[in-house]
Amino acid sequence: SMEKYLGYKQHYVQTFISPIIASLMMGFASWIIYQGTVVITRSDLLGVLLAFCVAVALYMLLVIIFGVFSEEELLGLPMGERLVSICKKIHIL
């Protein structure tokens, strides 16, 4: 009914599929980093901290690469101008 009355069309790939794929990739990478860190250092805390930091950065990178956010939406985020500048320098936006 939203499409009928408002003319709004839901973009399922951009809204649901791409973020799910990005989160699965992030989760797998985080698990690998956590397991590797625990095996090498025997420290759960260091494993969690390292996996968390990598997960945040990797998820943001993946949703930008998959086109979940447009440049205009990124500019609306805190420090969005800096983020867009970095993305353009590494050619992902």
Per-residue pLDDT tens over the stretch 52-66: 999 999 999 999 999
Longest dimension (CA), the chain: 58
Calpha distance 46→22 (Å, rounded)? 24
Give 57: exposed, middle or buried? Use CB within 10 Å, 0-12, 13-18, 19+: exposed
* Nearest by Cα to 83 from 54, 49, 57, 45: 57
pTM over 0.75: yes
pLDDT at 70 over 80: yes
Average pLDDT of the residues of the chain: 93
pLDDT value of residue 23: 97
The reported pLDDT for the residue numbered 41 is 96
Lowest mean pLDDT, pick from 1-15, 42-56, 79-93: 1-15
What's the whole-number mean pLDDT along residues 59-86? 94
DSSP state letter for 76: T
